[in-house]
Structure 1
């Protein structure tokens, strides 16, 4: 289906275009950053979820002691942190049975599903896993759940019609770590196959919609971590992917959330390579603090006049009634200047 026809159909059929305000040209209204209580520790590479009026973070790269650190000053975490939205306070939740980083978290009717991720030691910090764990109550314990069909991490994660979708990211191909286009979903009993992502990539952002999900940006491991601007929409009913308008520029390590019928993308990082006069390959990196907004009615992105308070990648974004929470991340590419920052982006009015 041609993209313009698909967008028109999507705008008519989804709740995203049910409001008359969405048919007008979007005009930015004032948005304000509000500082929130900091995380109990410095962490990045997290995929938080919202469960029973709590922000939940588990399985990340967390600041560690020199003896335990496996990646610079960081190590995979088995900690679970809970932020009570009513009390506006953090507390420790049930500890994970294993240490993981880049662990996917999704809210389902059965509870919080923790999916895949990497285990780490000093000799190999990128051991991709397929085990999953379920937390049915915030005061209970994590229980082993049905493992993924294949190891998968740094993927896109979305709950669609109560099914937990895991899309692309990194897995194992011919015995080596590589980008995979696998797309599977858990229906509460077993994992099932769904349409694979057209362009395999990792470190993008995934946002659940009313009838599917968006997979935004990311990078390709085998192309020297080349960032991508591609945006794909998964139509759950048709079990098909459709390419949408690309992001303003290519980025990875981003976070995204849906709020007030718009999609917002935050931050990210970039790696570039050059060869110096001695013939040695040099790596250059940067991080970003932009905020992009996507509008379905026009299939267009815009860069908002407000930006993040600092550059960050590997952060988490969660939408609530009060606005969008940003948690953690690192101010420099890789594991440098990891933060414990928690901020809420509040909007003066809809736009």
Structure 2
């Protein structure tokens, strides 16, 4: 049996800024989804696929629907659906295009078959087209964009020939760089540890990877950074708590972390919001989420962070349609 451990921080303390964030409830998603990786594209927020406790189990509780949010009208609409239901797919806006990398689909007799697809939204035809194939199937990964290249780091990939169930996959330390011009994938310096369900982004030419989960070890509090110029990984100050299934977004020169889940003693979700300052490698608690959840998404748009979907209990239960707009009361 795999045991996931929630760390006890009885002897540690972190600065608390109780009123540092303003939370505004916005219009709910049209369909509640979790295990999503949203992206900002052409001034709107895109959510592609996902899992939902509201969908039939015989269909894998996944959706092919693409939901688009307009911040000006505070309204959602459906966009061009994916070719098939898909969850844990990495949505990336880059080079004026919108891409989706990997994720899980229904294939080989199961609903957790990792995909190697690279899809792109054809704006003229309003349809998703397969434009490339990754070196191997990949899901639950993290991405960032640097100089017309998409970095894909960590996640899960089939351990052997079987590729139908979640347990057919193994945690990986993959670091691939997908070239948006040639549609080819190069291998870069591997992450120093295997993990899945982390959160990450790029800020000022440095990629950051926060937390995640190791099947053999549970949630991790490690923070890895990758310098695009030196092509080297480095360890930064560990997270205040070991979290997985969380979301990250940048605002005011800081990186903000939201949510996540743990499985100890029946499981639960994290409520505390943390900010990380790359400038001085420090952490602060920034209050708590009004609706704690995991498997959520977070994106930065117009000097605000939008916190999207997820689930209010650990696992595939109580999927949420909540959308919140978060702004800083102490801008840097």
- Distance change >3 Å, CA 326–CA 195, structure 1 → 2: same
Alignment coverage as a number of residue pairs: 310
**2:89 aligned with 1:95, yes or no?**
no
Alignment of 1:1-351 (within 5 A): 30-66=20-56, 68-70=58-60, 75-120=61-106, 124-137=110-123, 140-175=126-161, 176-188=168-180, 189=182, 190-223=184-217, 226-272=218-264, 284-304=266-286, 306-351=287-332
TM-score, normalised via structure 1 length: 0.84
Deviation of the 1:67 alpha carbon = 6.2
Distance in 1 separating the partners of 2:317 and 2:18: 33
Asked if 2 retains the 8 angstrom alpha-carbon contact of 1:179 and 1:221, the reply is yes
Tell me how far apart the structure 2 counterparts of residues 293 and 121 of structure 1 sit (CA, whole Å).
39
Q: What is the CA-CA distance between 1:137 and the residue it aligns to?
A: 2.5
Q: Deviations over 1:65-106 (max 9, x none)?
A: 436442xxxx12111111112222111111111211101011
Query: Per the alignment, do residues 345 and 139 of structure 1 end up closer, same or farther by CA in structure 2, a change over 3 Å counting?
Result: farther
Runs of at least 5 residues in structure 2 that lack an aligned partner in the other structure:
1-14, 162-167
| Distance of aligned partners of 1:67 and 1:262 in 2 relative to their CA distance in 1, 3 Å threshold | closer
Deviation at 1:303, TM superposition (A): 1.4
Q: Is the 8 A contact 2:52 2:316 kept in 1?
A: no
Distance in 1 of aligned mates of 2:277 and 2:155: 25
Post-superposition Cα deviations, 1:19-77, rounded to whole Å, max 9, x if no partner, equal xxxxxx9977642111111000111000000000110010211344436442xxxx121
Secondary structure in 1 matching 2:216: helix
Give CA-to-partner distance per residue, 1:126-184, whole Å, 9 cap, x none.
21110110014387211111111111100111112221111110012344410011111
> Does the aligned pair in 1 maintain the 2:24–2:324 contact within 8 Å?
yes
CA contact (8 A) 2:17 2:285 kept: no
**Alpha-carbon distance between aligned partners in 1 of 2:124 and 2:35, rounded to the nearest angstrom:** 22
Cα 1:122–1:332 shift into 2, 3 Å: farther
**Who wins on radius of gyration, i.e. which is larger?**
1
Q: Distance in 2 between matches of 1:198 and 1:250?
A: 17
- Residue 280 of structure 1 corresponds to none
For 2:86 and 2:109, the matched residues in 1 are separated by: 15
Q: Structure 1 stretches of 5 or more lacking a match?
A: 1-24, 273-282
Contact 1:56–1:80 under 8 Å retained in 2: yes
Question: Are the equivalent residues in 2 in contact too, given 1:29–1:350 (CA < 8 A)?
Answer: no
Mapped partners of 1:237, 1:136: distance in 2: 32
- Decide whether the 8 Å contact of 1:178 with 1:222 is kept in 2: no
- Looking at structure 1, the residues matched to 55 and 32 of structure 2 have their Cα atoms a distance apart, in angstroms, of 12
Provide the rounded CA distance (Å) in 1 between the counterparts of 2:310 and 2:125.
26
Deviating above 6 A after TM superposition, structure 1's stretches of 4 or more consecutive aligned residues are 25-28
Q: Whole-Å Cα distance in 1 between the matches of residues 16 and 285 of structure 2?
A: 12
Helix, strand or coil at the partner of 1:168: strand
In the other structure, the counterpart of 1:4 is none
User: How much does 1:110 deviate?
Assistant: 4.6
Q: Distance in 2 between matches of 1:90 and 1:237?
A: 39
Q: For the structure 1 residues 114 and 333, does the alpha-carbon distance in structure 2 shift closer, same or farther, using more than 3 Å as the test?
A: same
Q: Secondary structure at the match of 2:92?
A: strand
